[in-house]
């Protein structure tokens, strides 16, 4: 494993490797639409300027945002430069630079909403991104947090009425939320904080060098130039002394409104991270966590059961359509199977939840159940098609010869035999669905795997939550496989099972 | 009553693609008769049998059987009604493997005739006694010998209270002793029934045909070449 380079390594390499996530989008770091592969953003320019100060080149390293800190610790890059908020937890874990930007937590609500402060959100659903200060603030409040993966989705859902508010950095709110006519951004910042660079624990020299470079960029006005070019320079940036700020949040008395920043600092509530102990206490996996895991497992199990209970009849219907009806029915069933089997489940979930939101407004759980059911219906159709085809044609003829109609022959003779043939494959598919259901976290459902990743980041430990998560999946799937085997066996002809029926027999 | 014609074939023709399988067949069968259909492989015996039950539709002529008239384009309803009176026993039995012997017999009466279970079961048990399998009603088909399967298939076809029973090679898969048992059962069924049961069987076994039947029909290349009474 490579070590996060200290200053010497960076200089020797001639490269400052900086980690970020392109999915974070405009204005941080994102791909140029006109030139795929070329990246831009205010952080790209800051990285280039910092590297220039250090006398090296900047090299961007793509990394999933929520795992930037572990990746830095693994040595995948030298610094994190991607809207990383200064928090006591992060300060206790890695080195943080001086701030390069001051953000305000902006509360966005629907235009017609009466909500004016965080306190009005008691018991309501509020969207945000995971691993953010906004999430920490919300978690400490008596409301339901809805976690998203991308920046646009929280505002889309808010506009559609799926949530009551969104709390995120003003940088995001200004670009993705306040611009929507259905939405309104509240004038007061809920809290303020700083974006900082994350630097490896073992790289004190690099931390010093970065801080000096930042100071130089501030004094020369280069930083202001970059921020102005990206329309990020506002009143919040005025007290820009590049002194390391020990506290995580807002300089309380930050100047009031100016032309650029119409929002002012709201009085900080007890919910802000600044009220937390400055050094994060070591947290361990406890009973409360176990309970959360069980809850996640229950969500996984319920959603899997519900969706499979829909997918099975759908599959049988599709297989029947494909085998026993005329050309239009056959074509329709075949097209359905190919489309749903040929495209990723993840994409189908996105389309169903976000894409079709204007047509049908589904809540996350309904969308998850429906998405999984529609997708697995296609697979079940193929399983049942195979099973139905495996029943000899003579069986249908025998039933027909006895006077049964086509449908009666299917219902009483072909289906019962096909179901038994299909059972092993169907069970297999259910176990697969149980695990595929982890994908529904993209539409804000917190199921078992999502619970695991949230907790893992919180506890800074992937092993205990990972094992716990694996154990729960196993506990759910293993008995199912056993149970299916039992049913399968009970359907096989066994003289012993029939002995009880033969009451009159010797 | 015995003089009544239960089957009448009028210029029956059938083709599979370009191959003419049955050509202008004309014949009559009296109620209560046993008729054997013999002929070389491919002569059309089995096809004729299947046409009589509506498993194949004819292209020309008309079939009158057990009071039903069937032409080249029969409706599904007409066939369902016909099949309630015309039973069929397949060469490979085609018992339903997922059902017990008793349920194999009860299925059609319950589903097609809408008989209540106790009634269907009573009749099924009676039939099983008649074919000597009164003690096997709880067995699955896979637990039965070839002769036992044939007897269940017979009983299943009769459970609908049919007037005509069609049998495709009823003894071909059986040893000599079992074959004689089946012949005995068939005779009994025809003679002991409350009303006349007519049997039409396809066979390769000329000995069986002569021993059992009132008439032997010989088919040659789709034509009824010879009728021996």
pLDDT, one tens digit per residue, over B102-152 is 999 999 999 988 889 999 999 899 989 888 888 888 889 988 988 889 889
Q: How many other C-beta atoms lie within 10 A of the C-beta of residue A326?
A: 8
Task: Please tell me what DSSP assigns to residue A249.
Answer: B
Instruction: Identify all chain A residues contacting B106, using CB atoms and an 8 Å cutoff.
Output: none
Q: What is the ipTM of this complex?
A: 0.91
Q: pTM higher than 0.80 for the full model?
A: no
Q: Directed axis angle between helix B117-130 and helix B146-158, to 10°?
A: 130
Q: Is A493 near chain B, with CB under 8 Å? A: yes
Considering only CB atoms, A408 lies closest to which of B92, B97, B111, namely B111
The helix (run of H) or strand (run of E) holding residue A338 is: helix A327-342
The torsion angle over the Cα atoms of residues A167, A172, A176 and A182, rounded to 10 degrees, is 30
pLDDT confidence tier of residue B76, bands split at 50, 70 and 90 = confident
The pLDDT, as a whole number, for residue A261 is: 43
Instruction: Identify all chain A residues contacting B90, using CB atoms and an 8 Å cutoff.
Output: 394, 397-398, 401
DSSP readout, A81-113? -SSPBP-HHHHHHSEE---SEEEEEEEEEETT-
Pairing of strands B86-89, A188-189: unpaired
Nearest Cα neighbor of A227 from A472, A27, A378, A501 is A27
Burial class (CB in 10 A: 0-12, 13-18, 19+), A308: buried
Residues ≥6 apart with Cβ < 8 Å to A242? A98, A99, A211, A214, A215, A218
Strand-pair partners of B168:
B202
Q: Is B55 near chain A, with CB under 8 Å? A: yes
Task: Please tell me what DSSP assigns to residue A5.
Answer: P
Nearest Cα neighbor of B173 from B188, B151, B142, B198 is B151
What does residue A400 show for φ and ψ, rounded to 5 degrees?
-65, -40
CA distance from start to end of chain A: 75
Q: Is B84 near chain A, with CB under 8 Å? A: yes
Considering only CB atoms, B100 lies closest to which of A404, A498, A504, namely A498
Instruction: Identify all chain B residues contacting A392, using CB atoms and an 8 Å cutoff.
Output: 94
Q: How far is CA A40 from the centre of its chain?
A: 24
Contact between A113 and A203 under an 8 Å Cβ cutoff? The reply is no
The pLDDT, as a whole number, for residue B31 is: 87
The pLDDT, as a whole number, for residue A498 is: 40
Instruction: Identify all chain A residues contacting B156, using CB atoms and an 8 Å cutoff.
Output: 402
What does the pLDDT look like over B5-41, one tens digit per residue? Answer: 889 999 899 988 888 889 889 999 988 889 999 988 8
The pLDDT, as a whole number, for residue B193 is: 65
Asked whether the predicted pLDDT for residue B78 surpasses 50, the reply is yes
Task: Please tell me what DSSP assigns to residue A454.
Answer: H
The pLDDT, as a whole number, for residue A272 is: 38
Question: SS3 string of chain B?
Answer: CCCCEEEEEEEEEEEECCEEEEEEEEEEEECCCEEEEEECCCCCHHHHHHHHHCCCCCCEEEEEECCEEECCCCCHHHHHHHHCCEEEECCCCCCCCCCCHHHHHHHHHHHCCCCCHHHHHHHHHHHHHHCCCCCCCCCCHHHCCHHHHHHHHHHHHHCCCCCEEEEECCCCCCCHHHHHHHHHHHHHHHHHCCCCCEEEEECCCHHHHHHHCCEEEEEECCEEEEEEC
Report the residue of chain A nearest B53, measured CA to CA.
A401
Nearest Cα neighbor of A384 from A433, A339, A335, A429 is A429
Strand, helix or coil for residue A57 = strand
Q: Is A400 near chain B, with CB under 8 Å? A: yes
Report the residue of chain A nearest B52, measured CA to CA.
A401
**Which mean pLDDT values do the consecutive 10-residue runs of chain A (506 residues) have?**
71 93 83 75 95 94 83 88 92 93 94 90 92 90 88 88 93 91 92 94 93 94 93 81 41 37 44 36 69 89 95 95 91 95 92 82 88 96 94 93 90 92 89 90 82 74 86 90 77 47 37
Contact between A445 and A364 under an 8 Å Cβ cutoff? The reply is yes
The sign of the CA dihedral A450, A88, A462, A289 is: negative
d(CA B141, CA B158): 17
Contact (CB<8Å) A401/B53: yes
d(CA B47, CA A349): 54
Q: How many other C-beta atoms lie within 10 A of the C-beta of residue B176?
A: 8
């Amino acid at each position: 494993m490579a070590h996060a380079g200290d200053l010497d390594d960076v200089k020797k390499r001639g490269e400052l490797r900086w980690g970020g996530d392109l999915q974070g989008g405009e204005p941080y770091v994102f791909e140029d639409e006109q030139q795929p592969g070329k990246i831009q953003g205010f952080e790209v320019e800051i990285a280039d300027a910092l590297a220039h100060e250090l006398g090296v080149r900047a090299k961007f390293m793509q990394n999933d945002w929520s795992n930037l800190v572990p990746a830095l610790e693994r040595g995948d890059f030298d610094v994190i430069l991607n809207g990383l908020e200064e928090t006591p937890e992060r300060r206790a874990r890695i080195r943080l630079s001086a701030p390069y930007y001051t953000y305000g937590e902006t509360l966005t609500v629907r235009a017609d909403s009466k909500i004016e402060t965080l306190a009005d959100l008691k018991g309501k659903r509020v969207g945000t991104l995971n691993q953010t200060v906004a999430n920490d603030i919300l978690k400490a409040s008596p409301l339901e947090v809805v976690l998203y993966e991308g920046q646009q989705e929280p505002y889309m859902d808010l506009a559609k009425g799926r949530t009551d508010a969104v709390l995120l950095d003003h940088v995001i709110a200004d670009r993705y939320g306040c611009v929507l006519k259905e939405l309104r951004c509240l004038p007061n910042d809920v809290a303020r904080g700083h974006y900082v660079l994350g630097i490896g624990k073992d790289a004190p020299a690099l931390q010093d060098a970065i801080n000096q470079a930042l100071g130089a960029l501030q004094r020369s006005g280069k930083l202001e130039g970059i921020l102005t070019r990206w329309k990020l320079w506002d009143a919040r940036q005025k007290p820009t002394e590049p002194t390391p700020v020990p506290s995580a949040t807002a300089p309380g008395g930050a100047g009031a409104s100016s032309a650029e920043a119409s929002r002012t600092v709201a009085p900080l509530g007890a919910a802000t991270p600044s009220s937390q102990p400055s050094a994060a206490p070591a947290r361990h996996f406890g009973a409360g966590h176990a309970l959360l895991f069980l809850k996640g497992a229950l969500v996984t199990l319920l959603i899997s059961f519900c969706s499979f209970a829909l997918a099975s009849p759908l599959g049988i219907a599709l297989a029947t359509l494909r085998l026993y009806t005329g050309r239009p029915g056959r074509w329709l069933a075949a097209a359905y199977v190919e489309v749903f089997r040929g495209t990723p489940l993840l994409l189908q979930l996105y389309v169903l939840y976000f894409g079709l939101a204007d047509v049908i407004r589904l809540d996350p759980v309904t969308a998850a159940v429906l998405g999984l059911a529609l997708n697995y219906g296609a697979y079940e159709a193929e399983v049942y098609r195979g099973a139905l085809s495996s029943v000899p044609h003579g069986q249908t003829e025998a039933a027909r010869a006895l006077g049964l109609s086509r449908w009666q022959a299917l219902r009483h003779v072909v289906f019962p035999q096909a179901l038994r043939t299909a059972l092993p494959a169907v069970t297999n598919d259910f176990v697969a669905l149980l695990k595929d259901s982890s994908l529904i976290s993209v539409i804000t459902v917190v199921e078992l795997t999502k619970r695991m990743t949230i907790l893992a980041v919180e506890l800074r430990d992937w092993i205990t939550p990972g094992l716990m998560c694996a154990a729960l999946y196993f506990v759910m799937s293993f008995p199912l496989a056993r149970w299916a085997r039992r049913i399968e066996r009970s359907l096989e002809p066994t003289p012993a099972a029939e002995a009880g029926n033969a009451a009159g027999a010797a | 009553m015995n003089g009544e014609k239960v089957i009448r074939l009028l210029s029956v023709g059938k083709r599979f693609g370009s191959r003419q399988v049955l050509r202008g067949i004309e014949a009559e069968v009296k109620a209560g008769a046993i008729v054997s259909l013999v002929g070389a492989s491919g002569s059309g015996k089995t096809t004729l049998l299947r046409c009589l039950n509506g498993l194949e539709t004819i292209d020309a002529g008309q079939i009158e059987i057990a009071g039903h008239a069937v032409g080249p384009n029969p409706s599904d309803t007409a066939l369902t009604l016909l099949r309630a009176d015309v039973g069929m026993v397949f060469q490979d039995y085609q018992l339903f493997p997922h059902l017990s012997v008793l349920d194999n017999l009860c299925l059609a009466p319950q589903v097609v005739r809408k008989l209540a279970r106790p009634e269907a079961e009573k009749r099924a048990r009676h039939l099983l006694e008649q074919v000597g399998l009164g003690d096997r009603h709880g067995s699955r088909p896979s637990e039965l010998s070839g002769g036992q399967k044939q007897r269940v298939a017979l009983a299943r076809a009769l459970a609908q209270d049919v007037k005509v029973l069609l049998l495709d090679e009823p003894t071909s898969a059986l040893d000599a002793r079992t074959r004689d048992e089946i012949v005995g059962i068939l005779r009994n069924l025809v003679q002991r029934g409350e009303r006349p049961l007519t049997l039409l069987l396809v066979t390769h076994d000329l000995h069986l045909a002569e021993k059992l039947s009132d008439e032997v029909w010989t088919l040659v290349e789709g034509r009824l070449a010879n009728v021996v009474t």
